[in-house]
Amino acid sequence: MRLLERLDGRRVLLTGVTGFVGEALLQRMLTDLPGLVPVVLVRPKSGQPVADRVAGLLRKPTFAAARERVGGLDALLATVEVIEGDLAAVPALPTDLDVVVHCAGDVSFDPPIQDAFATNVDGTHALLTRVVEASVARGRPIHYVHVSTAYVGGRRRGSVPERSVEHDVDWRVERDAGRRMAHRVEDDSREPEVLSRLRREAEREHGRAGPITVAQDAERRRRTWVKDQQVAAGGERARSLGWTDAYTFTKAMGERIVEELTSGRSRDQPGAPALPVSIVRPSIIESALVSPHPGWIEGFKMAEPIILAYGRGEFPEFPAAPDSVVDIVPVDHVVNAIIAVCATDPEPGVPQYFHVSSGARNPLTFRRLYELVREHFEKHPFDLGERGAVALPTWRFPGSQRVERVLAQGETAHRLADRALGLAPRSERVREFSRDLDRTKTRLDSLRRYLELYRSYTQVELQFVDDRTLALHRALDPADLEPFGFDTAVVDWTEYIRDIHCPAATAPIRRYDVIRKRRAAAGEPRARRLEGDPAGVLAVFDMDGTLMSSNVIETYLWLRLPELDRADRLREIGALIRRVPSYVGAERRDRGGFLRSVYRRYVGADLHELDALVDEVVTPHVLERVSGAALRRVREHRAAGHHTVLLTGAVRPLARPLGPLFDHVVAAELAVDAHGRATGFLASPPLVGESRAAWLVRYAEVGGFDLSRSYGYADSHSDLPMLRAVGKPTAVSPDVALYRAARTARWPVETWATPSVTSRLRVPDVRHDTTGAALT
């Protein structure tokens, strides 16, 4: 009898239909088994009701044939019964179900320990409890089909039979211990030594931006540390018990729950009847061979990251033995096997196990996989734009220890280069180097992740026996062998890997590369257009390093050196040079403290004389240091009707030449004594880092300005809070830290160059009459 007839009228509950296997299974049922009635358990998402989630799923191209068969989306929706629920809180199930297929689960190899148990263990227990209840209410047992993994056998070698895994691990003890471990890690993250270390790391990176920014980053690091430790705890516990990772460990615990709760002897449900149970164990599930179409795949599975990294030249070696078998199975073979299993009637309380795998009868070695992937990329290489086609690495399979050694050397070299980059003066070349260094960091992090994830799988030498699965395939009606067959021995690996899977896996990346090339051709994100209603819009500009190429020490010398003779000039410069190391350290730790230490050198200066010196001597020097692009941008904002603000840490006299360009100027105010002479202190704390952002927020509130529509321009990482406070920030000739933040946030990055005729070594000379014209 054909599957179409055997399953006609059966009501089959599916979990995990928004996942890879579940979606493929639902698609096949709706397309080719019209008499079967699918019931789907779907959890709601925030802002998206369950009905909308299911409609969105059935609207996908995957279900085009199913929609066509019944006459459209609405008609297809009418054939699917939807139950709202979650594995964390499974509702009561209908009592007229014939089969329950549990496809849902946490398929990540390295989930936090509590997450893996919550889904693969507790979720399975909750669902099965409801299945038992529905079976009792129905008066007849429901066939429970559990989708597991072939790797539940753990890190063993040799043949793995289709039967229960032998172990004496108590899933209840491990689940409870995993929960306690997760809580313990959370508590440990709040220990003083951990918090202190994370805070120091945050201060090194964000100290210049201010304490709140540091605190936010320290908390981000704490949460990351917690997750990493919880992931490590799950992985280490799994390996200590003989499994490859937390995924296979918790899937094995899930199988033990299935065996207990369906045996008729469960201590959790005394008196509950035994259930007919089938456990389907696929190996590494990849794209479809035939259905819904060759190469169909949703998201990245196990092999795709390796294939893509190799094609980009980013995976120089792989830590596997060349003759080890990588056990891959197309997703449509898995789906067909599940459908065939659903049509069986196993004896209650006696689970039947099915390996859906290829290694036993049609082995694919890592060496052959590498050759086929290489052949694909030799014909269809990734294009790196100006750098041309990728140079493909040649894998020699030197062993995992050699791969680990090379990777560790690369990580050490990157750390040293990144440390040196932090000391380099800002320039376009330095920013370009930081881009290259960031790309290298991404590549190294990916390699490290892949190495840790795949190491165990490359070391196991398993052969999954699939005798029962093959017998089930051969028992199919002859008319079902072609459309519903699942004998993996028929897979031609050359055709499947090289001509079907690789093109499908690389297609999304090739589409993204087209977008990336367009972005690269356009350079950094383009300068923001000044558009919209100008009412309530601010345009806020930093001065030193943004409008003009200068810094606090330079501008101090502009005011100090013109009235000194040659000998005194040399002494003043020498004194500053001796202080440079301490200034650099102070500036990296706290920009406010750095400004205070420099401004102490103004002690005794007459403020009125400083104003006169700027007006009569320094103004022309300031104006020739201002970038032409900066002046144009300020004037564009003024022409657009925006309220312009100069927000600088420079002393107020030095802001006087630029004053006519701005509606409001905020600068550092020197404190003076009764005689008008500088005391060496400031009249109020300098506006740096977060204090700039706070001032800006208050200024906008009082003045009725809309920061979400306002613009900001700055060059330093210390200005990050200010730039984040406006809706339209731009990084101008930024330092490396701000450049990285801007690239991450996709902010425009512009270079406002100083006129080439200007030398940074020249200072104003009081002996020359160089009074400049005022700005307008």
pLDDT over 90 percentage in the chain: 59
For 94-120, the pLDDT digits (tens) are 999 999 999 998 777 788 999 999 999
Ramachandran angles phi, psi of 280, nearest 5°: -100, 125
Please state which of the four CATH numbers 1.10.1270.20, 3.40.50.720, 3.20.20.70, 3.30.565.10 is assigned to the domain occupying 1-169+245-283+327-360+465-490: 3.40.50.720
Residue 346 has pLDDT above 80, yes or no: yes
- Is 399 in contact with 319 (CB distance < 8 Å)? yes
For 512-526, the pLDDT digits (tens) are 777 666 665 555 556
Measure the CA–CA gap between 670 and 413, rounded to whole angstroms. Answer: 46
| Confidence grade of residue 769 (pLDDT, cut at 50, 70, 90) | very low
Residue 766 has pLDDT above 60, yes or no: no
**3-class state of residue 288 by DSSP:** coil
Q: Tell me what pLDDT residue 374 has.
A: 96
- Is 258 in contact with 277 (CB distance < 8 Å)? yes
Measure the CA–CA gap between 21 and 297, rounded to whole angstroms. Answer: 10
Interaxial angle between packed helices 331-342 and 20-32, expressed in degrees from 0 to 180 and rounded to the nearest 10: 60
Q: Tell me what pLDDT residue 349 has.
A: 92
Measure the CA–CA gap between 393 and 186, rounded to whole angstroms. Answer: 42
| Confidence grade of residue 528 (pLDDT, cut at 50, 70, 90) | confident
Cα angle value 741/743/748 (rounded, 5°): 105
- What mean pLDDT do residues 737-762 have? 80
Stretch among 116-125, 240-249, 304-313, 534-543 having the lowest mean pLDDT: 304-313
Q: Tell me what pLDDT residue 772 has.
A: 34
Q: Tell me what pLDDT residue 599 has.
A: 85
Q: Tell me what pLDDT residue 774 has.
A: 30
CA proximity to 365, closest of 452, 499, 461: 461
Task: List the structure tokens of 87.
Answer: 């594995």
Measure the CA–CA gap between 714 and 400, rounded to whole angstroms. Answer: 47
Task: Return the domain boundaries, the chain.
Answer: 1-169+245-283+327-360+465-490, 174-240, 300-321+362-459+492-523, 538-750
- Is 454 in contact with 395 (CB distance < 8 Å)? no
> Residue by residue, what is the 3-state secondary structure of 92-131?
CCCCCCCEEEECCCCCCCCCCHHHHHHHHHHHHHHHHHHH
Domains 1-169+245-283+327-360+465-490 and 538-750 agree in fold: yes
CA proximity to 178, closest of 170, 168, 167, 190: 170
Please state whether the peptide bond connecting residue 49 to the residue before it is cis, i.e. omega within 30 degrees of 0.
no
Secondary structure letter of residue 386 according to DSSP? G
Q: Which amino acid does the sequence have at 379?
A: K
| Distances, alpha carbon 737 to alpha carbons 112, 200, 221, 337, 731, in Å | 31, 17, 17, 53, 11
Task: List the structure tokens of 514.
Answer: 């087209």
Total residues found in the chain within this entry: 776
- Is 755 in contact with 772 (CB distance < 8 Å)? no
CA proximity to 97, closest of 16, 25, 33, 40: 40
| Confidence grade of residue 219 (pLDDT, cut at 50, 70, 90) | very high
Instruction: Write the DSSP assignment of 695-721 as a string of letters.
Output: HHHHHHHHHT--GGG-EEEE-SGGGHH
- What mean pLDDT do residues 351-379 have? 96
- Is 626 in contact with 633 (CB distance < 8 Å)? no
Ramachandran angles phi, psi of 677, nearest 5°: -105, 145
Any bridge partners for residue 286, and if so which? 330
- What mean pLDDT do residues 84-96 have? 93
Tokens 């014909």: give the residue. Answer: 379
Stretch among 13-17, 337-341, 595-599, 629-633 having the lowest mean pLDDT: 595-599
Mean pLDDT of the chain: 88
Cα angle value 737/739/743 (rounded, 5°): 120
Name the CATH superfamily for 538-750: HAD superfamily/HAD-like (3.40.50.1000)
- What mean pLDDT do residues 680-708 have? 92
Measure the CA–CA gap between 5 and 703, rounded to whole angstroms. Answer: 75
Q: Tell me what pLDDT residue 142 has.
A: 97
**For residue 328, what is the enclosing H or E element?**
strand 328-330
Q: Tell me what pLDDT residue 191 has.
A: 96
Measure the CA–CA gap between 215 and 221, rounded to whole angstroms. Answer: 10
Q: Which amino acid does the sequence have at 733?
A: S
Any bridge partners for residue 666, and if so which? 647
- Is 645 in contact with 593 (CB distance < 8 Å)? no
| Confidence grade of residue 397 (pLDDT, cut at 50, 70, 90) | confident
| Confidence grade of residue 312 (pLDDT, cut at 50, 70, 90) | confident
For 62-75, the pLDDT digits (tens) are 999 999 999 999 99
Q: Label residues 681-710 b or e (16+ Cβ within 10 Å = b).
A: ebeeebbbbbbbbbbbbebbeeeebebebb
Task: List the structure tokens of 5.
Answer: 């007839």
Measure the CA–CA gap between 681 and 671, rounded to whole angstroms. Answer: 6
Q: What's the alpha-carbon Rg for the chain, to the nearest Å?
A: 34
- What mean pLDDT do residues 751-773 have? 57
CA proximity to 695, closest of 637, 645, 650: 645
- What mean pLDDT do residues 12-23 have? 96
